[in-house]
């Protein structure tokens, strides 16, 4: 059993995680289209990760015998100016998601919902890693700039950095 406010926030977070998945899938297509298979693979893996994030909350809501609502997932951008813009967007998006997670956590605290706080703690920790990864790769992308041979090597390196 969950408080109505908490249930609403959790359902919104399921949608936000699916939107993240969708956004990364779009970025994966953009990278694939520009012959950047390493970045495309990274983004596709992230698409899978974000779906797992959504499903973890989905399962929790069901475990609490509450109803999941699955409203439409907003359309993500399909056009990016550059690889750097993709990584700027990624980093900004993860920072935004962190703020959403913190709001859900704060609400669970206010409502004295200890189980939801436990669930959200996992996301708080996960977001630290997600932001760190995004900012590290953004810095590398900035470093190589438009040097095509450096981009080629970074593309290979980035997929290996995820163990693929």
The contact mask relative to Fe ion for 55-94 (x = CB under 5 A, - = no) is ----------------------------------------
* Short-list 86, 94, 159, 158, CA closest to 128: 94
Q: Does 44 bind Fe ion (CB under 5 A)?
A: no
Q: Which one among 26, 90, 130, 141 touches Fe ion, defined by CB under 5 A?
A: 130
As a whole number of angstroms, the distance between CA 134 and CA 57 comes to 23
68 touches 11 (CB < 8 A): yes
Q: Which is nearer to Fe ion, 127 or 159 (CB)?
A: 127
As a whole number of angstroms, the distance between CA 134 and CA 58 comes to 25
Token duo for residue 75: 């359309």
Q: Does 113 bind Fe ion (CB under 5 A)?
A: no
Q: Does 19 bind Fe ion (CB under 5 A)?
A: no
155 touches 38 (CB < 8 A): yes
DSSP-derived secondary structure letter, 66? -
Q: Which is nearer to Fe ion, 147 or 164 (CB)?
A: 164
For the CB of residue 90, give the shortest distance to Fe ion in the complex, in Å.
Answer: 9
Q: Does 21 bind Fe ion (CB under 5 A)?
A: no
Q: Does 120 bind Fe ion (CB under 5 A)?
A: no
Tell me the CA distances in angstroms from 107 to 50, 138, 153, one per residue in order: 22, 32, 44
For the CB of residue 21, give the shortest distance to Fe ion in the complex, in Å.
Answer: 8
**Footprint of Fe ion (CB under 5 A):** 17, 50, 53, 130
């Amino acid at each position: 059993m969950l408080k109505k406010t908490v249930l609403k926030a959790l359902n919104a977070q399921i949608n936000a995680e699916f939107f993240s998945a969708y956004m990364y899938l779009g970025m994966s297509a953009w990278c694939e289209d520009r012959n950047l298979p390493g970045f495309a693979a990274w983004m596709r893996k992230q698409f899978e990760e974000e779906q797992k994030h959504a499903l973890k909350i989905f399962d929790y809501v069901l475990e609490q015998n509450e109803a999941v609502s699955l409203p439409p997932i907003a359309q993500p951008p399909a056009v990016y100016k550059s690889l750097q813009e993709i990584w700027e967007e990624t980093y900004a998006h993860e920072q935004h998601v962190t703020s959403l997670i913190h709001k859900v956590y704060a609400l669970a605290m206010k409502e004295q919902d200890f189980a939801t706080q436990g669930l959200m703690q996992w996301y708080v920790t996960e977001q630290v890693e997600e932001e760190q990864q995004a900012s590290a790769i953004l810095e590398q992308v900035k470093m190589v700039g438009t040097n095509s041979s450096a981009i080629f090597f970074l593309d290979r390196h980035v997929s290996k950095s995820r163990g693929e």
